[in-house]
Structure formats: structure tokens, C-alpha cells
Amino acid sequence: MVKAVVAGAAGRMGSTIIRNILKTEGITLAAAFEHPESPAVGKDVAEVLGLPEKTGVIIADHLEKVIDKGEVLIDFTFHTASLEHARINAQYGKAMVMGTTGFSKEELSEIHALAREHFPLVQAYNMSLGINLLYKLVELATRILGEDFDIEIVEAHHRLKKDAPSGTALALAQVIARTLGWDDSTFRFCREGIIGERPRKEIGIQTIRAGEIVGEHTVLFAGPGERLELTHRAASRDTFARGAVRAALWVVGKAPGVYDMHDVLGLKEV
């Protein structure tokens, strides 16, 4: 039985992940924690999530107070918090699953360096099966259509999402750029005013923030006389939580290093 510790237990993703752990065989909720000012601290997880029966897991106010109880830390919090959690985890060598977005290049580089030295990490901006298949489909479409088609990415999320564009949109752009031999200098995040003719060597990334949209990503390939659109829509956060739990079950016992959902799902050779 894999013992999991969940960060941000009272948050939207943390609570959804906990619900999925509680109904998944082979994994158990060993501990949970929140930031010290959270009103959830000191309460049973069941009370915070509105569950009918107590779990016996009391929400702590710091990772170091509970990290010894688990084998894998699941973290979908905030980029600065996740970085600090990775630094702490490097002292304990626990497996880690991280779905946090909004990292700077420097923050992500430090997290990956810590993982390669101290613990196995599954790090992905989107852990749904559909999105990870979309990465493969986008790579194939880019390879076939090449630079003859203009490529645009449109992503939409709920009005409370803090970072823009989404980590998934950036990951899609990176798949396209890598396939074409480009770099992130070709990413275009904003257009306004008289912009002139669209450069051929450009990947547009547009952001929508509205209502309660869980997550939508469309990659548009537009060429002479035709257009191809590849779209993924998430209807529930359970989509991401199920992927996170699957990653937690997979990563325990792996060697230190950085893994992604393609490793978890066996898509590397697809």
C-alpha cells in the first residue's frame, strides 16, 4: 500500500486528489498539510472535505511535520510553495508528484536538479490521459504539416487561475517548437494594434480566463485552403487527480530523476 502525503489539502486540486486517493486501491492517505494560516489546519480531512466519516488524518501546518508518514508527496499548490517543498523533500528522499504550474525557468531548473540528485519526481503541467495523447498528436501533425501551416494555441481556464498562459499551453508550444527545430523566441503571447503580416516562424499562444472553465486547449493548424484543430476539454478536476494518483502509484521505488506522464502511461515509444 503506497502512503501519500498531499499538499494544499483544502484547495481545489488538493481536495480532489484526496477524494481520489480515498477511493483508489493500492494507495492510502497518510498525511495532509496546508499553509499555517489556513482555517483547515488542525481539522480532520473529512471535516474539511465534507465527508461522512472521519479519516483520522489531521491537516498539519507544514510539510516537515508529516513528511515522515508517507512515501510520496503530491503537490499541486503554488510555484514558490512547490519549490520550497522540493527543497525540503530533497532532505528526505521521498518520491514526489508535482502538477504545479507558473514556474520560472530558474525555479524549474532547481527542482529538476534536486530531483536528479535526491528523489524520483513525476512533473507535468497536465496529468490527464487525453492531454498526454494530445501532445503526441500535435507532434505528429507538426512533423507532417511542417512550416507550411500557421500554428496557434488557444487555452481557456476558470477566472481564478493565477498564471497565464497555462503550463499545458506552454508544453504544447514546446512540443511544436522542438519538432520544428525552433526555440521559445518564436512564441507570440499578445497581439494588439497594427501588427502587419503574421510571420511564418511564429507560434501564437492565446489565453481566455472566464467563469468556471476547468481547462480547454486547442491547437490550430491553418494552411492554404484547410484548417486542422486538435482540442482537449476537461469536464472535471477528477481528470487531473486520477492522473496524479496513477503517477503516485508508479513513481514510488523509482530511481532519483525527472519523469513525466509519458513515462507513467508508457507513451515514450508510441
pLDDT at 268: 66
The predicted model scores a pTM of 0.82
Q: How many domains does the chain have?
A: 2
Residue 237: what pLDDT? Answer: 87
- Is 225 domain-assigned? yes
187, pLDDT greater than 90: yes
Task: Say yes or no to pLDDT of 233 above 90.
Answer: yes
Whether 194 is covered by a domain: the verdict is yes
Same domain flag for 74 and 105: yes
Compute the distance between CA of residue 141 and CA of residue 89 in angstroms, rounded to an integer: 39
Question: Could you tell me if 237 and 16 are in contact, meaning their C-beta atoms sit under 8 angstroms apart?
Answer: yes
User: Within this chain, do residues 7 and 116 fall inside the same structural domain, yes or no?
Assistant: yes
Instruction: Please check whether residues 143 and 201 belong to one and the same domain.
Output: yes
- Asked if pLDDT for residue 161 goes beyond 80, the answer is yes
CATH number of the domain encompassing residue 63: 3.40.50.720
- State the average pLDDT over residues 68-73: 98
Decide if pLDDT at 27 tops 90: yes
The verdict on 112 and 243 lying in the same domain is yes
The Cα–Cα gap between 122 and 82 comes to 13
Question: What is the domain extent for residue 261?
Answer: 2-123+237-265
* Catalytic residue set: 157, 161
pLDDT tens digits along 95-141 = 999 999 889 999 999 999 999 999 999 999 889 889 989 999 999 99
What is the arrangement of strands in the sheet containing 203-209, beginning at the earlier edge strand?
Answer: 187-188, 203-209, 150-157, 215-223, 226-234
Round to whole Å and give the CA distance between 56 and 91.
Answer: 27
Query: How many C-beta neighbours within 10 Å does residue 75 have?
Result: 27
